[in-house]
Amino acid sequence: MPLTDAKVRNAKTEDKDYKLADMGGLYLLVKKNGAKLWRLKYRLAGKEKLYAIGQYPQVSLSAARQARDEAKLLITEGRSPVAVRQAERLENIEQGLSTFEAVAREFYGRVRLQGKETTASQSIRLLELYGFPKFGNLPLASIKPIIILNIMKQLEARGVANTASRFRHVCGQVFRYGVATLRCDVDPTASIKRAIVAPPVKHHQPVEDPQALWRKIQTYRGTGTTRIALQLLMLLAVRTNELRRMEKSELDLEKKLWTIPAAKMKKRRTHVVPLPDRAITLIQTAIDWSGDGSYVFPNQRSPGEAMSEATLRKVMIALEAPTSPHGLRATFSTHLHGQGYPSHLIEMQLAHAEENKMKATYNHAQYLDERRRLMERWADFVTQQSQ
């Protein structure tokens, strides 16, 4: 009986390897370590052969059947699908297209095109630090689990188990893309998924005393625009990436509004931020200092680019702040909920997703005046001005 998606998905590991047959010589090899491998048994020149198609779920049942059919066409021509694939890989290697670094940069280039610039940049930086120097020039298909596991163990020994776990995840994304583009058969990180147990991630903690943190930020004697950026993070409760990429064209200071384009938002939906008076003053100062570029907070080394995320994080650490830049959003939510302000206004200001898009548009227009008042009161609270 042919396999089904459900049967493949639900196949459990046993004490020893076993096979689940499909059709036409195709079968799923379920390994005792949890791996599920597609294999095709065929005969060529009177001899039984085996063709490794790939690993489930990177290669789905339908994709495995398609690969089987393509391999059988080669077999009817008297050609070995294994030899054909090896020839294709050698050609790719000669062109430098199948090394780990080449495939990684290709994959994260695609991630960037999806608007996930921060994810792509952070992932490539992680690979530049720990992956590329060790195996970046190796063909993707030649990299074994032990190579990656050794790096993970080194990171764990340094006390950064979370980084080790993240490194495995990033490498796995590259290998899975390699499987999908026929640069390798399996993802070697799948078998070492539980080799290192990272400690629980601590979520960004809200600040108990926002006024004390505000005063601490005011004492910062570094770059003035960095101080203003942190102050605005406290006042506006936007995400770090949204604030540091603020552009002058998005601001209407007369109407006290900042319209963030959908492309810059996590949920890909335009977000309008009411600006309290204190924020207007800070933004105007930052614009006066920013020069002729489009960004309100330009990068000091590369004025055509936005301020880096690391800049704000480093200043928070230097100030010994009790949270991260992103934790300022949690501070906003915790204190306003605690003071009895309506939850829907707080969530709207945080740009949390509204599943019904029509309802979201209606609510956006309906509650703008109420959000203006909420933001003014929050600014008064944080800066200890009279209510």
Q: Is the pTM of this model over 0.75?
A: no
Give the residue carrying structure tokens 């990177």: 58
Please report which helix (H) or strand (E) contains residue 328, including its range.
helix 327-338
Apex CA 108: angle with CA 104 and CA 109, to 5°?
A: 110
- Lowest-confidence pick of 115-124, 184-193, 287-296, 347-356: 347-356
According to CATH, the topology of domain 5-93 is Double Stranded RNA Binding Domain (3.30.160)
Tell me yes or no: is domain 100-192 CATH 1.10.150.130.
Answer: yes
Predicted pLDDT of residue 117: 79
| Listed residue (134, 140, 133) closest to 103, CA to CA | 140
Q: What is the DSSP letter of 78?
A: T
Residues whose CB falls within 8 Å of the CB of residue 95, separated by 6 or more in sequence, listed in order: none
For residue 318, the one-letter residue type is A
Residues whose CB falls within 8 Å of the CB of residue 18, separated by 6 or more in sequence, listed in order: 29, 30
Apex CA 239: angle with CA 261 and CA 301, to 5°?
A: 85
Decide if pLDDT at 309 tops 90.
Answer: no
- 310 is written with which tokens? 């690391």
Predicted pLDDT of residue 383: 93
Predicted pLDDT of residue 362: 46
Say whether 353 sits in a helix, a strand or coil.
coil
Other beta carbons within 10 Å of 75: 18
Q: How far apart are CA 387 and CA 376, in angstroms?
A: 9
Average pLDDT of span 338-345: 88
Decide if pLDDT at 94 tops 70.
Answer: no
Higher-confidence residue of 258 and 203: namely 258
According to CATH, the topology of domain 210-383 is hpI Integrase; Chain A (1.10.443)
Say whether 41 sits in a helix, a strand or coil.
strand
- 345 is written with which tokens? 């206004």
Decide if pLDDT at 37 tops 50.
Answer: yes
Q: Where are the domains of the chain?
A: 5-93, 100-192, 210-383
